């Protein structure tokens, strides 16, 4: 099996998917806009460095010339901006995979909602907008509050809540670079994800993660320490409703092989509402949380799924797993951490990762990456214990910069 894997270097978790491909016996032909380091090279059969991964026409031309005389079985991508490019390359090269039209249904947020709604699934009221007039007309449909987001965005980037016409007027300068947006009804409720590994569109592994607070608040409030909690017990009634919602969405969008990442809402009245879905794995350590939940390696199982249409990992869920992302107070370099030693004293056996920036390191741009200034991952079989641990980390541990 020989595959072209687009962007094996970035984002950082793509390195793990590259490893997964190599470990299931695949020859990996990587394509990226930088040079791989020796650690990554060990998983690659060959590598093409290109000036840009976003210039699709040039990228396809370069890859076609590079592959001349070689046999390739598949083109793969797990980074959101490249999933449509991979589908186009598979079609052009006569290779298997989801069609461009199918993948577009996972990328175009308005088309996505239309197709999901047509299958009878509850989705937020929404409309496409290419101009200020379109936005104003869309808001007549959705009402206030509403959400505006890029049609093909990812990770809550350039996503805003609008509560009034005055708020819209203030926001307009920040929307000018967005060529096409989706305006949608704001759903009040608890936000969860539904993550899968699929073979032929059927989930062979399912996982649910809760956001605390919701994704938009995580991305818009610097003082927040975002929390994500992988749920061990999927048999709970409200979780089961979300899972069934997700299965309906997969059928409506004609998912093929690979991983998906969906966001959904549980309203106070118990109704579950679709948010959005991508035909790629979740970012910001979602796959790591899933791995820690069952002591498995979904980087490798994804590779087995897309290449051999098989899944061999255990589906047993052993732990609730929580991650808390920290953002330092102040700017410049980290100068101090408080509360971490006490946190270790209380919870050391349950801490599985600690990447918090230590004093001397420069702060990261919290708007550019949810990973912010590092994170802690903890796990425990009991939900309440796990939830208490991440809340304690969010409130008691502080990083300072100057």
> What are the structure tokens assigned to 221, written together?
């409030």
Note whether residue 112 is domain-resident: no
- Cα–Cα dist 225/209, whole Å: 16
Note whether residue 203 is domain-resident: yes
Q: What's the CATH number where 177 sits?
A: 3.30.1490.20
- Cα–Cα dist 15/41, whole Å: 10
Whether 286 and 312 map to the same domain: the answer is yes
Prior bond to 160 cis, omega within 30? Answer: no
Whether 62 and 176 map to the same domain: the answer is no
Whether 132 and 192 map to the same domain: the answer is no
Q: Which CA distances in Å does 203 have to 30, 188, 244, 259, 376? A: 27, 28, 11, 9, 29
- Cα–Cα dist 91/298, whole Å: 27
46 phi, psi to nearest 5 deg: -160, 170
At which residue do the structure tokens 């979602």 appear? 286
Contact between 398 and 342 (Cβ < 8 Å): no
> In sequence order, what DSSP letters do the residues of 107-155 get, joined into one string?
H-HHHHHHHHHHTT-----EEEESSHHHHHHHHHHH-SSEEEEETT--T
Note whether residue 107 is domain-resident: no
The pLDDT value given to residue 280? 98
Q: What's the CATH number where 81 sits?
A: 3.40.50.20
- Cα–Cα dist 36/254, whole Å: 34
Q: Which of 318, 347, 371 is the last residue of a domain?
A: 318
Nearest to 167 by CA among 183, 144, 149: 144
Query: What is the domain extent for residue 16?
Result: 2-97
Whether 204 and 278 map to the same domain: the answer is yes
- Cα–Cα dist 202/36, whole Å: 34
- Cα–Cα dist 171/236, whole Å: 40
> What are the structure tokens assigned to 113, written together?
């909602």
> Would you call 351 helix, strand, or coil by DSSP?
strand
The pLDDT value given to residue 367? 82
Q: Within 10 A of 315 (CB to CB), how many other CB atoms are there?
A: 12
The pLDDT value given to residue 129? 84
Whether 207 and 178 map to the same domain: the answer is no
Q: What's the CATH number where 271 sits?
A: 3.30.470.20
> In sequence order, what DSSP letters do the residues of 248-280 get, joined into one string?
HHHHHHT--SEEEEEEEEE-TTS-EEEEEEESS
Whether 313 and 326 map to the same domain: the answer is no
What 8-state DSSP symbol labels residue 382?
Answer: S
Contact between 86 and 77 (Cβ < 8 Å): yes
User: In whole numbers, what is the pLDDT of the chain averaged over residues?
Assistant: 94
The pLDDT value given to residue 180? 84
The pLDDT value given to residue 135? 83
Count: domains in the chain = 4
Q: Which residues of the chain are modeled with pLDDT < 70?
A: 152-157, 175
Whether 283 and 334 map to the same domain: the answer is no
> What are the structure tokens assigned to 36, written together?
């791989």
Contact between 45 and 328 (Cβ < 8 Å): no
Note whether residue 256 is domain-resident: yes
Q: Which of 185, 206, 227 is the last residue of a domain?
A: 185
**Cα 147 → chain centroid:** 19
Q: What pTM, to 2 d.p., does this model score?
A: 0.92
Contact between 111 and 105 (Cβ < 8 Å): yes
Whether 259 and 273 map to the same domain: the answer is yes
Q: Within 10 A of 252 (CB to CB), how many other CB atoms are there?
A: 19
- Cα–Cα dist 128/148, whole Å: 10
195 phi, psi to nearest 5 deg: -115, 140
The pLDDT value given to residue 155? 54
314 phi, psi to nearest 5 deg: -70, 145
């Amino acid at each position: 099996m020989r595959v072209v894997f687009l962007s094996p270097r970035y984002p950082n978790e793509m390195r793990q998917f590259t490893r997964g491909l190599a470990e299931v016996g695949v020859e990996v032909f990587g394509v990226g806009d930088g040079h791989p380091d020796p650690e990554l090279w060990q998983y690659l059969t060959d590598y093409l460095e290109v000036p840009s991964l976003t210039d699709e026409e040039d990228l396809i031309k370069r890859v076609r010339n590079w592959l001349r005389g070689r046999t390739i079985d598949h083109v793969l991508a797990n980074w959101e901006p490249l999933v449509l490019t991979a589908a186009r390359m598979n079609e052009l090269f006569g290779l298997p995979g989801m069609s461009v039209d199918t993948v577009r249904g996972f990328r175009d947020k308005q088309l996505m909602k239309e197709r999901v709604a047509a299958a009878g699934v509850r989705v937020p009221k929404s409309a496409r907008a290419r101009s200020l007039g379109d936005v104003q007309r869309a808001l007549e449909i959705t009402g206030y509050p509403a959400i505006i987001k890029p049609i093909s965005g990812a990770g809550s980037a350039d996503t805003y809540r609008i509560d009034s016409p005055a708020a819209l007027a203030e926001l307009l300068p920040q929307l000018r670079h967005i060529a096409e947006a989706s305006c949608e009804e704001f759903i009040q409720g608890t936000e969860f994800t539904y993550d899968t590994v699929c073979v032929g569109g059927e989930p062979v592994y399912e996982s649910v993660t809760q956001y605390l607070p919701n994704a938009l608040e995580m991305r818009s409030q610097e003082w927040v320490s975002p929390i994500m909690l992988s749920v061990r017990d999927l048999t709970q009634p409200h979780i089961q409703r979300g899972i069934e919602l997700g299965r309906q969405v997969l059928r409506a969008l004609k998912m093929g092989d690979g991983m998906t990442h969906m966001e959904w809402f549980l309203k106070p009245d118990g109704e579950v509402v679709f948010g959005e879905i991508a035909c790629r794995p979740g970012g910001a350590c979602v796959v790591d949380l899933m791995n820690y939940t069952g002591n498995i390696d979904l980087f490798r199982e994804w590779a087995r799924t897309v290449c051999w249409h098989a899944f061999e990992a255990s589906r047993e869920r052993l732990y609730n797993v929580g991650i808390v992302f920290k953002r330092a107070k102040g700017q410049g370099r980290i100068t101090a951490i408080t509360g971490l030693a006490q946190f270790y004293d209380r919870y050391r056996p349950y801490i599985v990762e600690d990447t918090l920036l230590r004093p001397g390191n420069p702060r990261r741009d919290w708007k550019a990456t949810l990973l912010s200034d590092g994170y802690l991952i903890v796990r425990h079989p009991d939900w309440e214990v796990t939830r208490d641990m991440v809340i304690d980390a969010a409130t008691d541990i502080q990083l300072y910069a100057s």
